[in-house]
Amino acid sequence: MKKVFVGLSGGVDSSVTAALLKKQGYDVTGVYMKNWSQDLPGFECPWKEDFQDAKRVAVQLGIDFKMYDFETEYRHRVVDYMIDGYKQGITPNPDIMCNQEVKFKLFLETALADGADMIATGHYSRVKDGQLLTAKDGNKDQTYFLYRVTEEALRQSLMPIGEYQKSEVRKLAKEFDLATAEKKDSQGICFVGKVGIREFLEQFVESEPGPIIEQHGVTIGQHDGAIFYTIGQRHGLNVGGGLPYYVVGKDMAKNEVYVTTDIDDSRLWKSELSLTNLHWINGQPNLDKTYYIRTRYRQPLTGAKLQIQDGPVSGENRLLVVLDEPVRAITPGQSAVIYDGDQCLGGGIVV
C-alpha cells in the first residue's frame, strides 16, 4: 500500500483530496504546512483556524496528521522573492514560486524523507506519466500556477480533484461529511488570507508620493508609491472625472506612474513578448509548431509561435513569443505559460 502525504491546508479542496485517496486505498497522512503566521495591522493571519480545520478533517478520516514548519524557508524563498520583485518595479507571482520552491520541492523532499512514497495536493490539475494536464474544470484550472514544477516532482505527486468540477468537489465534501464542506475558498495573497497585496507590501517597503502622468505628458494627480501599481490597473488611481485611466508604465527611479484614457494605447497591448527564466516540464517544445499561451490566470488562451533568442547576459536563453493577436496588460515579472492542447509545457517570466 503506497504511503501518500497530502498537503492539508484546511480548505475543502485538499480535504476532498485526502478523502478520495483514502477511498482509493492509499495509506494517507495529512500534513499542514505552516508557511506564514505573522499578523498584519487590521488582519489576523488565519493559520491557526486553518490548522484546526485540517486537523478536524484528519480525525474525521481516521488518518495520521502532522505539521511541517516551513516558515523560515517560505519567508526566504517566496516572500523575499516577491518583495524584491516589487522593489524592482515588476509584478512577481508568489503562488508560482510557492509551488516551485515549497509544495513541490521542500514539502516533497521532507515527505519522502519522512517515509512517504508520494505527495498529493488539492490543485485543479491532472498528472499523467510526468506530464501536467489541465483540469476537467477549465474555470478552476491551476496549471498556470504549476508550470515551474519539474517532471520528477510530478511523477511523485497526485492531484485527484483535477478530474472533477468544483461543484462536484463541494458535493463530495458533503457526501464525506467533511468539516470543511461549507468553508469558503480563500482570497487574497496565498499566505496571508484576506489581506491584499498593497496592504501587505506597505509593511515591508518604504514608498514616496509622486506624479501620475497621462498620455500627453500632463500631470493629473499624485500616487502614493510607484511600487504599488501594475500594468493595466484601473482602480485605486484616485484620478477623478471623465474617462477611466489605465496604468501603462512606471519609472521606479523617477517615481512616476504613466496612465492613459486610450483603451487602444499601444502600451496596453502587445503582439509579442520576451520570456526569461525559462522552465520546460518535459523538455523544450518544437519551435515549428503553433502553441497556446496564457499571460495571467484564467485569461483565454492565445495562439503563439515561439523563437529562442539570446538574452543580454552571455549564455542566457530567452524566448520570443509572437502572438496571433494582441494581448492586453502583459506585465513584467508575471508568468506566461505555454500549452499544447491540454498539456502544460512550461513557460517563463515576462521581461
Contacts 24+ apart (CB under 8 A), 81-90: 83/201, 83/204, 83/205, 85/333, 86/201, 86/205, 86/227, 87/205, 87/227, 88/252, 88/333, 89/226, 89/227, 89/250, 89/252, 89/332, 90/331, 90/332, 90/333
- Let me know: does 42 contact 192? Beta carbons within 8 Å: no
Q: How far apart are CA 318 and CA 79, in angstroms?
A: 25
Q: Name, in order, each residue with C-beta under 8 angstroms of 17's C-beta and a sequence gap of 6 or more.
A: 6, 120, 121, 122, 158, 159, 160, 161
Single-letter code of the amino acid located at 315: G
DSSP state of 289: S
Radius of gyration, alpha carbons of the chain: 21
Q: How far apart are CA 271 and CA 320, in angstroms?
A: 11
Q: What residues form DSSP beta bridges with 121?
A: none
- Let me know: does 256 contact 213? Beta carbons within 8 Å: yes
- Let me know: does 349 contact 277? Beta carbons within 8 Å: yes
Q: How far apart are CA 145 and CA 134, in angstroms?
A: 11
**What are the residue numbers of the active site?**
98, 190
Q: Name, in order, each residue with C-beta under 8 angstroms of 188's C-beta and a sequence gap of 6 or more.
A: 194, 195, 196
Nearest CA to 16 among 163, 185, 160, 182?
160
Helix axis angle for 47-61 and 12-23, nearest 10°, is 20
Q: Distance from first CA to last CA of the chain, Å, rounded?
A: 46
